[in-house]
Amino acid sequence: MSLHRPIEKFIIVTQDMSGEGFAKILLDQGNEVILALSPKDNEEKLDRLDMVAQGVVDIVLFEEIWKNRSKYKDWAWIFDMNFDPK
Residue 17: give its domain's CATH number. Answer: 3.40.50
pLDDT of residue 29: 93
Residue 25, in any domain of the structure? yes
Residue 68, in any domain of the structure? yes
Looking at the structure of the chain, the number of domains it has is 1
Residue 34, in any domain of the structure? yes
Supply the DSSP string of 41-85, one letter for each residue. S-HHHHHHHHHHSTTTSEEEEHHHHHHTGGGGTTSEEEESSS---
**Phi, psi at residue 49, to the nearest 5°?**
-65, -40
**In which domain, by residue range, is 24 found?**
9-79
Per-residue pLDDT band for 67 (boundaries 50, 70, 90) equals very high
Position with higher pLDDT, 10 vs 48 = 10
Residue 61, in any domain of the structure? yes
The arithmetic mean of pLDDT across residues 54-78, rounded, is 90
Residue 20, in any domain of the structure? yes
The arithmetic mean of pLDDT across residues 33-60, rounded, is 74
Residue 84, in any domain of the structure? no
